Amino acid sequence: MRIVLPVLIAWALVPVDASARTVWRCLRDGTVSLSTAPEPGSQCSAQTLDDEAALLPNLWGSLGVFEGSLYRREQDGKRVYGTRELPGSVRLQAFTVTTPAYSAAHVGLGRIGKPRLDIYRREFKVAARKTGVDEAWLRSIAHAESAYDASAVSDKGAVGVMQLMPSVIGDYGVDDPASAAQSILAGARHLKSLETRYGGDRILVAAAYNAGIGAVAQYSGVPPYAETREYVAKVSALYARYRKAMGQTARPLQLEPAR
C-alpha cells in the first residue's frame, strides 16, 4: 500500500489538472499528520509530489504499520483533507499504512546515568531558544556524546560537549571547539538542520548525528552499525528521562500518527 494513500484519496475527491501536488507534513506534540493545507497550531512543511512518479516518497517517517483516519474540514473558505482530527472535521474513512522498515535499535542500553540539569544551564537555554531545538533533546545528545565534558576528544576526531566533527565545526563557524557555549550552540544548529532534513524524525536525526548523513542515505534509514543502533537507543531513553526531569511529558523519539 502506498505510503501517501490518505492524500491520494483526498486528491481523488478533488478534481485538479496539475501533475504535481503539494502535501503538507504537519508536526504537533510528537505526532505527525498529512494535510492538503497547513494545519492551524501545527508546524507544517510543504512537500511537492509528482503524480507521474513511479514511487511516491515516504512522508510519514519510520512508523511501521499503523492505522489512521482521513478527515475533511472547512478552512479559510476551502475544503481541506487531512489525517488529524481537528475541530469541525468530518471523518471520511479509515486507512492502514505500512512505512518502510528501518533497522531496529540495539536492545541493551548499558549504563546511561541520571539526567543532569545542573551543568551549563545558561548555555543550553540560550541555544534552545535561538534554534527552537527542544532543550531536553539537546541535553540528551550532549549527555550521550560527552557526558558534558568540554575537553572530550573522540578517536574519530569529534571534540567538545557536543562532539562536533571538523566538517560540522567549519559549517557553523566555531572558533573554539572546547568552548561549551560555542559547541552547544553549534550542536543545536546542526540538530535543527538535521530535523529539517528528516522532517522532524528524531530517529533519523540521531542516526545521522552519530553516523553521518551519507550513511543514513546509503541505508535509507538507521545504518546497521552496532554503535549507531546502541546510540539511537541510548538517546531515546535519555530524551524521555530528561523531559521527565524537566517537568515535561515523557515523549519517545519515534513520531506517532495523529488521531
Hey, which residues are catalytic here? 145
In which residue are the cell numbers 483526498 written?
10
Contact between residue 144 and residue 162 where contact means Cβ atoms under 8 Å apart: no
DSSP letters of 145-180?
HHTT-TT-B-TTS-BTTTTB-HHHHHHTT-S-TT-H
